[in-house]
Structure 1
Amino acid sequence: MGTHILVELNDCPEKLLVEKSALQEALVESANQAGATVVKPVFHQFSPHGLSGVVVIAESHIAVHTWPEYNYAAIDIFTCGDPDVAHRIQSEIEARFAPARSSVRVLSRGPNLP
């Protein structure tokens, strides 16, 4: 059914962790460059800091939460169909965030469905 990639990014550029427009642009462009179809981005800026957002894509979604105080972002990429789309989105995001450290977990969603 789908591929779900959990990405943990440490020591990222501060701009992407605190500026809503920069974060939204990075994720939308990552989806576009990976060949996904962007439906709608929705982002929220918290006070005093931190962002959460989702980019709804025709293939499913990309979700992000940032913690600037820890220089950290957590990103979920979920796509149905071609798993290469999810992996291309991941690569595009990591290139834009340029984290000092990252970790990735890949899950197969719905593997027991007919």
Structure 2
Amino acid sequence: MNATLKLGEHFIFDLSDCNHEILMDSERAYSLFAQAVRESGLTVVDEGFYKFSPHGFTCFLLLAESHASLHAWPEHNYCAIDLFTCAIGMDMMPLLMRIKRAFGADDFSMRKLDREASVETKLPIAV
């Protein structure tokens, strides 16, 4: 018999009409993102950052609970954030709203996907 096992939650967060100056300062934007994630209670175990030319950047935070990433297009005042966590049930909305405020986004959309595995279960043996 198969059962579905929820292993994580994946938040896809799009921020539009962000503060242009913040997104053009990639180091500052990265710092704001990393600080918000750290102060949310998630555990950062590693991180990475890549700056594109002439502008834009990608950064990621490897979490004990999974990962968080940000991809910025300053020329469009837009950034895309992925947050995948196995901290099921932890309310991520305060973190996402903090990031929205930090980037001065006037508009956002959020989608949440449950990450699930189909697992085989053993039927109990009748005695």
What's the counterpart of residue 10 of structure 1?
16
Counterpart of 1:23, as a letter, is: A
Name which one, 1 or 2, has greater alpha-carbon Rg.
2
**Which of 31, 36, 55 lines up with 1:30 in the alignment?**
36
SS of 2:33's equivalent?
helix
**Which of 89, 98, 101 lines up with 1:92 in the alignment?**
98
Deviation at 1:41?
A: 1.9
Bigger helix share: 1
What's the counterpart of residue 57 of structure 1?
63
Do the aligned residues in 1 keep the contact of 2:67 with 2:84 (CA within 8 Å)?
Answer: yes
Residue 72 of structure 2 is aligned to residue 66 of structure 1 = yes
Sequence identity (%): 33
* Whole-Å separation in 1 of the counterparts to 2:34 and 2:91: 14
Tell me: CA distance 1:50–1:34, structure 2 relative to 1, closer, same or farther (3 Å).
same
Deviation at 1:49?
A: 0.9
Gaps of 5+ in 1: none
What's the counterpart of residue 39 of structure 1?
45
Counterpart of 2:18, as a letter, is: C
Q: TM-score, normalised by structure 1?
A: 0.88
* Whole-Å separation in 2 of the counterparts to 1:88 and 1:38: 18
Q: How many residues end up aligned between the 2 structures?
A: 114
Deviation at 1:113?
A: 4.4
Counterpart of 2:27, as a letter, is: S
Q: TM-score, normalised by structure 2?
A: 0.80
1:62-87 per-position Cα deviation (integer Å, ceiling 9, x unaligned): 11111111111011011013332533
CA RMSD of aligned residues (A): 1.7
Query: Which deviates more, 48-57 or 77-86?
Result: 77-86
